[in-house]
Amino acid sequence: MQTIRDLAELDAKIDECDRAERVSDDALRAVFGTFRMEPPASLPPDPFSPEYREFQLGLHRDVAGRPYSTANEETPFDVERAALRPFPFSTGSGQTAGEHFMAVELLLRAMALPPNARVLEFGPGWGNTTVMLAKLGHRVTAVDIEPRFCELIRRRAAREGVEVEVVNADFLWAEGAGARFDAALFFECFHHCADHLRLLRALRGALAPGGRVFFGAEPITPGFPMPWGLRLDGNSLWAIRKNGWMELGFRDDYFQQALARTGWFGRKHACPDPAWLTVWEAGRREETVLRFPADKPPIQTAVGQRRGGLLEFLGAEGTGAYGPYVALPSGRYVARLRFRAGWAAGGTAVLDVSADVGEARIASKPFEAARLAEAGMAVELPFEAASDLAGVEVRLFCRPGFTGALEAVEIAPVA
């Protein structure tokens, strides 16, 4: 691995990349893995400050050889040719294409949109996610700064017989979008935004109540060497130096804080291999409730009976419910068991919260079933995560004679 120390060395590697690109896309990507730059030795202390952002823009200017402008994101290509063979097919690489479509599939699965959802997609580029969402029956508005990408998406949509609203604008089009979308999507493009905090604030006004934002295959990782800033791997250096593109990366903890400061609650749908396929999901913090029906996985039971959308306990003793084994970022939460009204609930039980698949108990609370009606048929247990948690489960331990009908398990962040 060569550590680049000056622009002359970087330009020599760019020339090597150009030669490899004439061979194949795989050859180009192989060269990307042979060089990098060291992260800056010192940074402004506050990653949310104007000074920190100006530092990163200055670093970009030094590497790119020009100031950053959204005009840098221009991507010249042959629209006619791309309509016939868009990326990733144009690479001729089975690995590149396979990983790309793996990322799209994981994203669609994580989004789990209801039918006919209104989707605002930013930076759709070649339009692969755009067309898939439209073919699923969703109403898609695609916003891209590159007019050639806009034309490509129009052609691909027409060829597939689907309707897509295409807007030629930058990310901050969101500031005037109006609260009419059920979901906003960034797939491999959020890292091009030079003012991501402004964009995150703008998204709150673009989504309808209950709307969510998804970040697919973005460079948001626990090991990024600074809170956020310019990526200095070979691929990113090539993109910055050759094209002037903005290529940012984010550390997990910073990204979670950035979401929180702009009014969002974020969590990730992790992909272990390759990790860059991980999807982040964010909802308005005040609206977010992770709800899991009691009669369906991932809620499990050792002594309950699943019937009529409920998990029933008839004098049961033992582990009545456990799951859902989710990952949660650090913060304060409330766990909640919701029971069905009208049941002759009785006996006592214990509600607890644990992490690491039951290895680490976080909080616990006994309760009497006869008093559920007073509490709106719900039992709540506040808990705090001092650090990120994995394998979080909410458990119901039934004592002898416990009766009741559980509807759902919920976890909600607390402001």
- Concatenating the DSSP letter of every residue in 245-277 gives ---EEEEHHHHHHHHHHTTEEEEEE--STTGGG
Query: Shortest CA distance to 319 belongs to which of 410, 412, 406?
Result: 406
CATH class as words, domain 37-287:
alpha beta
Please tell me the predicted confidence (pLDDT) of residue 212: 97
Res. 273 pLDDT band, cuts 50 70 90 = confident
16 and 4 in contact (C-beta within 8 Å)? no
Q: How confident is the model at residue 74 (pLDDT cuts 50, 70, 90)?
A: confident
The residue among 342, 343, 319, 310 whose CA lies nearest residue 393 is: 319
How confident is the model at residue 274, as a pLDDT?
87
Q: Residue 24 and residue 30: Cα distance in Å, rounded?
A: 10
Query: For residue 300, what pLDDT is reported?
Result: 97
Q: Reduced to 3 states, what is the DSSP secondary structure of residue 363?
A: strand
Q: Looking at residues 322-328, what average pLDDT do you find?
A: 93
Averaged pLDDT, 53-79? 95
Q: Is the pLDDT of residue 415 over 80?
A: no
d(CA 153, CA 144): 10
Mean local confidence (pLDDT), 135-160:
97
Which residues, in sequence order, are CB contacts of 280 under 8 Å at separation 6+? 214, 215, 218, 220, 255, 266, 267, 268, 269
Supply the pLDDT for residue 299: 97
Instruction: Round to whole Å and give the CA distance between 286 and 244.
Output: 38
Does the structure show a pLDDT above 90 at 158? yes
Residue 341: which H helix or E strand, with range?
none
Please give the full DSSP string across 198-237, using - where no structure is assigned: HHHHHHHHHEEEEEEEEEES--EETT-SSSEEE--BHHHH
pLDDT of residue 387: 87
At residue 48, the pLDDT reads 97
Phi-psi region at 404: left, alpha or beta (left = phi > 0; alpha = psi -120 to 50): left
Q: Is the pLDDT of residue 395 over 90?
A: yes
pLDDT tier for residue 394 given thresholds of 50, 70 and 90? very high
- Kindly report the average pLDDT of the chain as a whole number: 95
SS3 at position 110: helix
Determine phi and psi for 303, rounding to 5 degrees: -130, -5
pLDDT tens sequence across 206-225: 999 999 999 999 999 999 99
Instruction: Check residue 272 and give its pLDDT.
Output: 83
φ, ψ (nearest 5 deg) of residue 52: -65, -45
Tokens 């006994």 appear where? 366
Question: If you average pLDDT over residues 121-143, what whole number do you get?
Answer: 98
Closest CA to 142 of 159, 132, 127, 156: 127
Alpha-carbon gap, residue 316 to 181, rounded angstroms: 45
**Residue 27: partners with Cβ closer than 8 Å, 6 or more residues away:** 20, 21
pLDDT value of residue 88? 96
Q: What number is the average pLDDT over the span 53-62?
A: 97
SS3 36: strand
pLDDT at residue 128 in the model: 97
pLDDT category of residue 179 using cuts at 50, 70 and 90: confident
**For 148, which DSSP code?**
H
Q: State the CATH architecture for 290-413.
A: Sandwich (2.60)
Distance CA 156, CA 149 (A): 10
For residue 181, which phi and psi values (nearest 5 degrees)?
-110, 145
Helix (H) or strand (E) holding 246, with range, is none
The pLDDT of 22-40, averaged and rounded, is: 97
Query: For the residues 341-350, what does the mean pLDDT come to?
Result: 91
**pLDDT given at position 369:** 94
Domains of the chain by residue range: 37-287, 290-413
**Chain Cα centroid distance, residue 163:** 26
- 207-216 and 279-284 strand pairing: antiparallel
Instruction: Give the whole-number percent of the chain exceeding pLDDT 90.
Output: 91
Residue 243 has pLDDT above 80, yes or no: yes
Note the pLDDT of residue 357: 87
CA distance 244 to 166: 25
pTM of the model: 0.87
Per-residue pLDDT for 349 more than 90? Answer: yes
Band the pLDDT of 118: cuts 50, 70, 90.
very high
Q: What is residue 378's predicted lDDT score, i.e. its pLDDT?
A: 96
What is the predicted pLDDT for the residue at 242? 95
Q: Which of 109, 376, 358, 322 minimizes the C-alpha distance to 216?
A: 109
* H or E, element range at 39: none
Tell me if residue 302 falls in helix, strand or coil: coil
Say yes or no to pLDDT of 343 above 90. no
Token pair recorded at residue 188: 């491999």
Find out whether 266 and 259 touch, Cβ atoms under 8 Å: yes
pLDDT in tens, 287-314: 999 999 999 999 999 999 999 999 999 9
